């Protein structure tokens, strides 16, 4: 039986030898962290890999070349163990398959698996399918980390064993710092490498630090071209976390600016401006650079960067710029607080005016507190009912505004949070990681979600799936443009041109369609396309407004859902606490609306203007003037000013979308607050005079 089993194992090996020629009988095996190539029991060569490199796959052999997955890369080794090629992949390698004469590799990430076809070595290193790198530093920084592991004593041996890792060459250049020719040779070897764009960015930073700015410029240019070839696009936002995984160019710019190296910072900023202009924190970094330029007397360049900042506002939420979600959230928070302050102030003022008359009316029920033993009768004498019908209407309007503001706050919270989802902030769409994360978002069915899924499929080369998705958004101009791109790729130029025209007619500001029709729109995306993807049609990417509709829906959608299912406010608004506040506001609206049909108590005519009410009328501008619409406006203006100034008192939870550290902004808010008190004082004096005249007339009439 043992002999039969051995014969079965030898048969495939003999067949492989006949088919593939000499060397096919070699049997690579992995023992622990060592790859050993054996031939008939004789060890031909072996390589040991550090544990920090990641898990090793089962090796595969094709054409006498041994392939091994090490972490997120595949290495190809020749007959003597020399490194022939390296394949950079987006996740740890799980399996290699060389059956059928084709080298296939499977990678497995968090919740997804992808398969790629590799170009066999020699002359390999290429992956036939599109490789999209997730914003994972363990993957994108693998080469740099691997080069940092060998000690100074074993560096030369590591360079000889892995000549394809350019970071090892740069370590060698640092060691030979006094030998300029040797450094130049090491730099040339580094630039001869084939790298994905995150590694090129990391290499550029290292070259800059080593004192080779021209070589760093070459590395950045190659990073641009590789990112463009992989489908990364300036129209897609990039989070700070993703940018750190892609080489952290913005962090390096901050270092350069702190060192006063504006010439080098300009090179790196232009890389960001061309490839990732919408990165998280871009607005502040561009503003900082413009200020530094202006301080050096370079006002023209500073204005150019400020104009570029302004151009990035187009397509954002309400055209407020990259920080729009946070600004909208802060504005809705401040509005909610302003309405709550105004409503509480009005209720306090009206309760102060009704206090004495209410106490007189409640004596027959046992007094102010004992009367609660008969709650239905007690409610008939609620302080709100002593107000006039107009005042009660003003209170109901304020309460309705508070409910709407709470709903808007919940919508803004949800939109701001979901727009930060990694799948929407990685610089591109598609790939195994992106598809898995996009599927986890639970996007709202509609044209905007269909556009996202269609783009991901189209970028991955699956035009059939893309067309099916775009069919669900047939009236969307972006989808029309992208369908026309598919038609152009099929060679149907007339249909493509018709699609571009229809898209541009439906949305005259659609830069992608204008570019495809031969026009020259001056946007970052079209400039990127012209420079780095010449001759290719321009895809249309969703802007922030489209993404907000896909992930959360418009504010109107949120309000409609709350109208249908108000008890689900906690889930709809994303927070049980906010949902509870919304339900409380709705209950208050209902109570105040009901009060509009309840007659005033008999003692309401005798309530007058007691001292406590006068104090509230002076201290709470507009609270005692709800009989007039202008009183409501004054009350809301005072509430807004008070809410905006709360951060100065240490209450930062409701910080407004204003820079109170700016003296001009702070002065404007204080001026508004002072104006409300001034107008309220004038109105108070007039009301007192009218009240005095009315009392005199009543006394004369008696």
Over residues 240-269, the pLDDT tens digits come to 999 999 999 999 999 999 999 999 999 999
Q: How confident is the model at residue 123 (pLDDT cuts 50, 70, 90)?
A: low
Between 649 and 582, the higher pLDDT residue = 582
pLDDT of residue 26: 54
| Dihedral angle sign, alpha carbons of residues 251, 254, 258, 264 | positive
- DSSP string covering 393-414, please? HHHHHHHHHHHHHHHHHHHHHH
Picking from 7-21, 72-86, 87-101, which range would have the lowest pLDDT averaged per residue? 7-21
Question: Taking residues 30-37, what's their average pLDDT?
Answer: 90
Q: How confident is the model at residue 9 (pLDDT cuts 50, 70, 90)?
A: very low
Over residues 141-155, the pLDDT tens digits come to 999 999 999 998 999
Over residues 88-98, the pLDDT tens digits come to 999 999 999 99
**Residues 6 or more apart from 636 whose CB is under 8 A from it?**
338, 339, 342, 398, 622
- Token duo for residue 1: 């039986």
Q: How confident is the model at residue 602 (pLDDT cuts 50, 70, 90)?
A: confident
Sequence-ordered alpha helix ranges (H) in 259-388: 262-275, 282-295, 299-311, 324-361, 375-379
Pairing of strands 112-118, 103-109: antiparallel
Over residues 482-502, the pLDDT tens digits come to 999 999 999 999 999 999 999
Q: How far apart are the first and last CA of the chain?
A: 128
Cα–Cα distance, 326 to 333 (Å, whole number):
11
pTM, to two decimals: 0.85
| 3-class DSSP state of 27 | strand
Tell me the C-alpha to C-alpha distance, in Å, between residue 248 and each of 71, 228, 406, 478, 642. Answer: 22, 18, 38, 31, 41
Kindly state the helix (H) or strand (E) to which residue 147 belongs, with its residue range: helix 142-148
Picking from 23-32, 72-81, 510-519, 637-646, which range would have the lowest pLDDT averaged per residue? 23-32
**Residues 6 or more apart from 535 whose CB is under 8 A from it?**
none
pLDDT of residue 21: 40
pLDDT of residue 15: 35
Cα–Cα distance, 275 to 225 (Å, whole number):
9
- DSSP string covering 498-516, please? HHHHHHHHH-TT-HHHHHH
Between 656 and 301, the higher pLDDT residue = 301
CA 26 and chain centroid, separation: 51
Over residues 236-246, the pLDDT tens digits come to 999 999 999 99
Q: How confident is the model at residue 449 (pLDDT cuts 50, 70, 90)?
A: very high
Q: Residue 6 pLDDT > 70, yes or no? A: no
Cα–Cα distance, 414 to 548 (Å, whole number):
9
Torsion angles phi and psi, residue 183, rounded to 5: -65, -45
Sketch out the chain's domains with CATH numbers.
2-127 (2.130.10.10), 195-319 (no CATH), 445-551 (1.25.40)
The percent of residues in the chain predicted with pLDDT above 90, rounded, is 66
pLDDT of residue 689: 86
Over residues 546-573, the pLDDT tens digits come to 999 999 888 888 888 888 888 888 888 8
- Token duo for residue 206: 């290292």
Cα–Cα distance, 39 to 29 (Å, whole number):
11
**Residues 6 or more apart from 253 whose CB is under 8 A from it?**
265, 268, 269, 272, 285, 289
- Token duo for residue 409: 């706050």
DSSP symbol at 304: H
pLDDT of residue 124: 64
Phi-psi region of 461 (alpha: psi -120 to 50; beta: other; left: phi over 0): left
Q: How confident is the model at residue 515 (pLDDT cuts 50, 70, 90)?
A: very high
pLDDT of residue 10: 36
Q: Residue 25 pLDDT > 60, yes or no? A: no
Q: Residue 137 pLDDT > 90, yes or no? A: yes
pLDDT of residue 559: 86
Question: Taking residues 393-418, what's their average pLDDT?
Answer: 93
Picking from 19-28, 207-216, 498-507, 516-525, which range would have the lowest pLDDT averaged per residue? 19-28
Tell me the C-alpha to C-alpha distance, in Å, between residue 126 and each of 14, 89, 196, 330, 523. Answer: 30, 10, 11, 48, 32
Tell me what the pLDDT averaged over the chain comes to: 89
| Selection from 345, 434, 382, 370 nearest residue 617 by Cα | 345
Question: Taking residues 470-479, what's their average pLDDT?
Answer: 92
pLDDT of residue 332: 92
Q: Residue 14 pLDDT > 60, yes or no? A: no
pLDDT of residue 582: 92
């Amino acid at each position: 039986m043992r002999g039969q089993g051995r014969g079965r194992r030898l048969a495939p090996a003999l067949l492989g030898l006949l088919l593939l020629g000499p060397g096919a009988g070699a049997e690579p095996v992995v023992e622990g962290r060592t790859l050993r190539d054996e031939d008939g029991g004789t060890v031909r060569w072996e390589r040991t890999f550090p544990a920090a490199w990641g898990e090793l796959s089962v090796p595969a052999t094709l054409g006498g070349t041994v392939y091994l997955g090490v972490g997120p890369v595949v290495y190809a080794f020749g007959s003597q163990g020399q490194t022939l090629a390296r394949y950079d992949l987006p996740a740890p390698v799980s399996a290699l398959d060389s059956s059928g004469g084709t080298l296939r590799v499977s990678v497995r990430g968090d919740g997804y698996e992808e398969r790629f076809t590799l170009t066999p070595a020699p002359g390999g290193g290429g992956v036939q399918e599109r490789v999209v790198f997730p914003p994972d530093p363990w993957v994108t920084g693998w080469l740099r980390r691997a080069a940092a592991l060998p000690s100074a004593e074993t560096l030369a041996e590591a360079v000889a064993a892995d000549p394809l890792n350019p970071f090892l060459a740069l370590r060698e250049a640092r060691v030979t710092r006094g030998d300029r020719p040797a450094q130049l040779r090491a730099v040339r070897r580094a630039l001869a490498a084939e790298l994905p764009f995150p590694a090129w960015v990391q290499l550029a930073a290292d070259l800059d630090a080593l004192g080779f700015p021209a070589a760093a410029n070459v590395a950045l240019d190659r990073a641009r071209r590789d990112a463009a070839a992989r489908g990364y696009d300036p129209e897609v936002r990039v989070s700070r976390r993703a940018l750190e995984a892609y080489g952290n160019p913005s962090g390096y710019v901050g270092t350069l600016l702190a060192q006063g190296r504006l010439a080098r910072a300009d090179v790196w900023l232009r890389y960001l401006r061309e490839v990732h202009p919408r990165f998280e924190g871009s607005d502040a970094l561009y503003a900082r650079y413009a200020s530094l330029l202006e301080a050096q007397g370079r006002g023209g360049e500073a204005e150019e960067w400020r104009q570029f900042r302004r151009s990035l506002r187009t397509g954002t939420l309400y055209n407020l710029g990259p920080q729009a979600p946070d600004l909208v959230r802060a504005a809705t928070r401040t509005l909610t607080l302003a309405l709550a302050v105004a409503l509480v102030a009005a209720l306090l003022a009206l309760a102060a005016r009704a206090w004495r008359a209410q106490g007189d009316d409640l004596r027959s029920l046992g007094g102010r507190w004992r009367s609660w033993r008969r709650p239905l009768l007690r409610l008939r004498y609620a302080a709100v009912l002593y107000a006039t019908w107009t005042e009660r209407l003003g209170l109901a309007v304020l309460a309705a505004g508070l409910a709407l503001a709470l709903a808007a706050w919940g919508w803004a919270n949800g939109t701001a949070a979901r727009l930060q989802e990694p799948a929407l902030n990685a610089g591109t769409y598609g790939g195994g990681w992106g598809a898995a994360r996009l599927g986890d978002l639970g996007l709202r069915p509609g044209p905007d979600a269909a556009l996202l899924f269609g783009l991901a499929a189209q970028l991955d080369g699956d035009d059939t799936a893309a067309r099916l998705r775009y069919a669900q958004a047939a009236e969307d101009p972006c989808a029309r443009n992208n369908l026309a791109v598919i038609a152009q790729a099929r060679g149907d130029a007339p249909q493509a041109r018709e699609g571009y025209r229809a898209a541009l007619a439906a949305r005259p500001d659609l830069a992608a369609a204008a570019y495809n029709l031969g026009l020259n729109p001056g946007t970052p995306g079209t400039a990127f396309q012209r420079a780095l993807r010449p001759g290719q049609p321009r895809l249309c990417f969703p802007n922030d407004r489209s993404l907000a509709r896909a992930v959360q829906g418009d504010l109107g959608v949120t309000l409609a859902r709350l109208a249908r299912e108000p008890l689900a406010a906690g889930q709809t608004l994303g927070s049980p606490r906010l949902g509870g506040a919304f339900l409380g506001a709705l209950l208050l609206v209902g109570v105040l609306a009901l009060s509009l049909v309840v007659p005033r108590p008999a003692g309401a005519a005798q309530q007058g203007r007691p001292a406590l009410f006068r104090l509230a009328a002076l201290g709470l501008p507009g609270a005692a003037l709800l009989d007039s619409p202008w009183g409501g406006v004054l009350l809301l203006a005072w509430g807004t000013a008070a809410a905006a100034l709360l951060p100065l008192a240490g209450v930062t939870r409701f910080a407004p979308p204003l820079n109170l550290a700016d003296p001009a902004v702070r002065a404007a808010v204080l001026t508004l607050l002072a104006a409300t008190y001034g107008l309220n004082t004038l109105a108070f004096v007039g009301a007192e005079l009218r009240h005095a005249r009315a009392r005199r007339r009543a006394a004369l009439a008696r």
